[in-house]
Amino acid sequence: ILYRDVYMKNLHRTAPGVYTFEVSQVKVFATDTAGDLLSYLRVLHPEAANEIRISKVGEKTFFYSLNRQLYNVCTAQ
């Protein structure tokens, strides 16, 4: 299971719901069991532009994709 915080820098909105960013830092929590999965799949690109697409699918629910490879749902509180 992936338990990480990805800190972004140089965040730019390129279209509605589409943003590009650079990775500033990644904090890995002790409960993370994914290991080098992100590196292996090359999901995040250090020192290069990354893309996140966010779509609202419910009142407080969002669907997002990271570099069109990793798809997930998150909720806001």
Q: Which residues pair with residue 66 across a beta bridge?
A: 52, 70
Question: Using CA atoms in the order 48, 49, 55, 56, what is the torsion angle rounded to 10 degrees?
Answer: 70
Residue spans of the domains in the chain: they are 4-75
pLDDT digits (tens, 9 = 90+) for 36-69: 766 666 677 777 889 999 999 999 999 999 888 8
- Contact status, residue 4 vs residue 29, Cβ threshold 8 Å: yes
pLDDT digits (tens, 9 = 90+) for 5-33: 788 899 999 999 999 999 888 888 888 77
Q: Is the pLDDT of residue 1 over 60?
A: no
Q: Is the pLDDT of residue 4 over 60?
A: yes
Q: Which helix (H) or strand (E) holds 39?
A: helix 37-41
- Full-prediction pTM beyond 0.75? no
